[in-house]
Chain A
């Protein structure tokens, strides 16, 4: 199904994410594995979307392609008005730097940097004025209630604290799109709940668009829309799909 209004300069109301007929495979010959098969999806500004499915269904691959961290074999992807297939590599890097925040299951913090150093890391690659990076980094840490531990290193933090620092880094550049890959996967239920609540607040108050890859019902249950994937295809966007995705 063709997707309209995805390409060209972003206008108010046009989709934040447009994915059209995307295919992706890994390996070659007999070892070739088709991960995404003709996937098409649109996400509107301010939406909070959960992407669910079993392991190996292609959700993380789709998230990576949307975030410009991976390249599709075929199809088109547009994010915030930028066609990722025709954009140059620096343009895609700039999009990640200024407009997209990533939150990973494994936190992906750099152990040799402090919490604040991790949070302000995007400023090192930004063409914008970085003179107030430290202040903005502290502000991000305050939002996730981690300002007191700003000078600690990630190895000195609990899992929940690490994820909060990772979220602070994702929010550092005030992105309009947050891509989260199993953000509560490594957290206990209480900490996971806090993170979910924070995402909900972020979405409702700051109008940040969220695409969350998750296995957990409690995450998908707060999403405005749930997209289910199976064997590299989008199969449903219903509660049934959610139920099939796994336990809460």
Chain B
């Protein structure tokens, strides 16, 4: 057998000496591989957006079935969580707990007063579950427990403002704070807000003087709690990328607010740090007109929270905080049973293939069910569309392989004398076969590289057109494509494989040529 170096040199020289043959052979494979890589990159990119941002599919969610007259209501409690954790197919089971009583939030953002309902739109999860970034992991903690043994710093809470703090009922005796000049920014200062409707509290008798100064150390992190009158760490809150997209896509535009890129930390730093991301939550009050929730007015109080990050683990439409805050508040406002009842349990399976087994056990043994996942449906739809695209690509590639076979048959016929000369000077049948197959493989590699390059270029063109001409919409990605290494390596592999396949029979025919007969060609 001829030395590999000589063979490679001969293959490259033979291929490049006939550009027409190269183009005829490679054109189809370039198109096929470009289509294959483009469609696979597109579907992988779209899948990443849909399943990564819109409908995260990392875990399954266990929920209780709707209450029925016969079976009553099934509660998700610690015992259920423990039972699920003991299942062999379960890697992790973490409960979520909804804030199940009225609450509403208020804050200032970019000079605007924002009011929003929190009751029903907030939940809690284990602090360790939200570790998407070191910064989030550091801040997303139950600070009441973390700082339980630390000395408390007494402080003077912000006085009530009847124009703004309409849910606020001051605990007696409430002494007004000494005014401090030059610090207008704060959760309790700002322009007059529209009055809240519904079950809002009674306005305070005296107007609040402007210029309240937060005297707590680290005022960007601590506020003065009005019920305990000690400096208290603000409740850390994360929101989902879904909410961020809805804000960027619709809300920000409607209200003339700046959009927030996915790097929230950068955004926060630009706006003066965490202190600017704070807002108050009025526990027990609501802005929903006609709410039937019965919370005693004396129970209503105000706490402060601050947005610390974005996490796909957060509630899609709402906010998420460490679960113990929610547990304590549910206990405070609704009682012990509410503090021990979870809204759902997030289960991470060791192997996704065991989902069916787990689901069946859940239904049969515990009478629970898995939350219908839109993500699963989208995943199936994406899989089907991807399969169709890949099938089309393979049809193109197969036709290309047939075209390559046809071209190589012609080549072998045209190069009979050349092949005879090679045999006369010492080439074996195997050498001839490998030379032809090598030429086919070389076309495959080059064609594959061009095809991958074409696909990536087309992808870049689509992304550029999208960013330049398409208006912003929720979840509009910066790129629709994910050209992961396995995709282009598969493209190269298939390209080479199909070209070799196309060259197989011509190579066999070339190898079987008798040198004397080949040399007889004029």
Contact = CB atoms under 8 A, between A and B. Distances in A.
A96 to B, nearest CB: 5
A64 B516 contact: yes
Contacts of A71: 514
B514 A124 contact: no
A67 interface: yes
A108 B522 CA distance: 10
Interface in B403-419: 417-418
A126 interface: yes
Nearest to A169: B425
A110 B14 CA distance: 11
B151 interface: no
B6 interface: yes
B207 to A, nearest CB: 97
Given A124-B10, A125-B431, A94 B426 contact: yes
B431 A102 contact: no
Contacts of B516: 61, 64, 69-70
Given A97-B425, A108-B519, A125 B17 contact: no
A190 interface: no
A93 B17 contact: no
Nearest to B5: A130
Contact of B426 (A70, A106, A112, A122): A122
B430 A90 contact: yes
B3 interface: yes
A98 interface: yes
B276 interface: no
A123 B425 CA distance: 9
Contacts of A102: 424-425
B515 to A, nearest CB: 4
A173 to B, nearest CB: 8
A89 to B, nearest CB: 6
A127 interface: yes
Contact of A123 (B6, B13, B420, B428): B6
B384 interface: no
A104 B519 contact: yes
Contacts of A109: 421
B2 A124 contact: yes
A96 B425 contact: yes
Contacts of B422: 121, 125
Contact count band on A:
20 to 34
Interface in A97-115: 97-98, 102, 104, 106, 108-110, 112
B17 to A, nearest CB: 5
Contacts of A67: 424
B513 to A, nearest CB: 11
B8 to A, nearest CB: 11
Given A69-B514, A130-B3, A130-B6, A108 B427 contact: no
Contact of A89 (B2, B9, B428, B519): B428
Contact of A125 (B417, B418, B426): B426
B3 A93 contact: no
B429 interface: yes
B428 A122 contact: no
A129 to B, nearest CB: 10
Nearest to B518: A69
Contacts of B517: 70
Nearest to B424: A102
A1 to B, nearest CB: 26
B154 interface: no
Interface string A54-65: 000000010010
B1 interface: yes
Most buried by A among B423, B429, B431: B423
A97 B3 CA distance: 13
A127 B424 contact: no
B515 A70 contact: yes
Interface string B423-466: 11111111100000000000000000000000000000000000
Given A69-B514, A70-B514, A125 B519 contact: no
Contacts of B423: 69, 93, 96
Contacts of A127: 3
Given A70-B514, A70-B515, A130-B3, A93 B522 contact: no
A67 B422 CA distance: 14
A19 B34 CA distance: 59
A70 B514 CA distance: 6
Given A108-B519, A112-B17, A90 B425 contact: no
11 contacts: A69-B519, A108-B417, A108-B421, A110-B421, A121-B421, A121-B425, A122-B425, A123-B6, A124-B2, A124-B9, A124-B10
Please provide the 10 A-B residue pairs with the shortest distance between their CB atoms, ordered closest to farther: A97-B426, A125-B426, A70-B516, A64-B516, A124-B6, A69-B516, A69-B515, A122-B425, A93-B428, A125-B2
